[in-house]
Amino acid sequence: MIIRSLVLCAASGLVLTACATSEPVCRPAEMSERAVFGALVAHDEARLAQMMAQGPGADQVRNLDPRVEAQIFGVRMGDAAVRTVLMQPPLCVVDGPQSNGARISYVFPQARFQALQNPDLDGLERGRPGLDHIACRYQDGPDGWRLSDACLQTFAPVASSS
């Protein structure tokens, strides 16, 4: 009886420890995400803007200035760009922070995601923006989550902790 209790306690401890780790969870892209990613890969600005949430992000896509176009589509194959990451299937999506009707998702080529993650470190290892991952901001609206920034969040400056 005592041995059985010890085994149960040990097993419970392992389960609780597994739940306490903060390993990032990789999921396949949802159908709506795949449609947006397809427009990005096809370099179809009109379709992309149509699928985006209304606001400054969609306006930036509609009125592509050269800097925005380079960040989304790249100038040459292999440039650090949103499209470069999306052209390396299969893709892996990791959901990031969510609050006040907004969320961010990180998208990786699955092989890069697996290579970057270090089980000895807590949290998500992202690697190089536009080469190893992209970061896409979504907005919740009446018809569900819609891309709000054409994944330009990838190139947003990272806030430093002072």
Asked, for residue 31, whether it belongs to a domain, the answer is yes
CA 82, 84, 87, 93 torsion: positive or negative? negative
Report residue 76 as tokens: 């040459």
Q: Is residue 2 part of a domain?
A: no
- Give CA–CA dist 35/107, Å, rounded: 14
Tally the domains of the chain.
1
36 contacts 29 by C-beta, under 8 angstroms: no
DSSP 133: B
Q: Is the pLDDT of residue 104 over 90?
A: yes
The three-state secondary structure class of 117 is: coil
CATH code where residue 47 lies: 3.10.450
* pLDDT single digits (tens) 108-143: 999 999 999 998 988 999 999 999 999 999 999 888
Tens-digit pLDDT profile for residues 81-98 = 999 999 999 999 999 989
DSSP state of 21: -
132, 78 contact by CB (below 8 A) = no
**Does residue 57 lie in a domain region?**
yes
pLDDT at 17 over 50: no
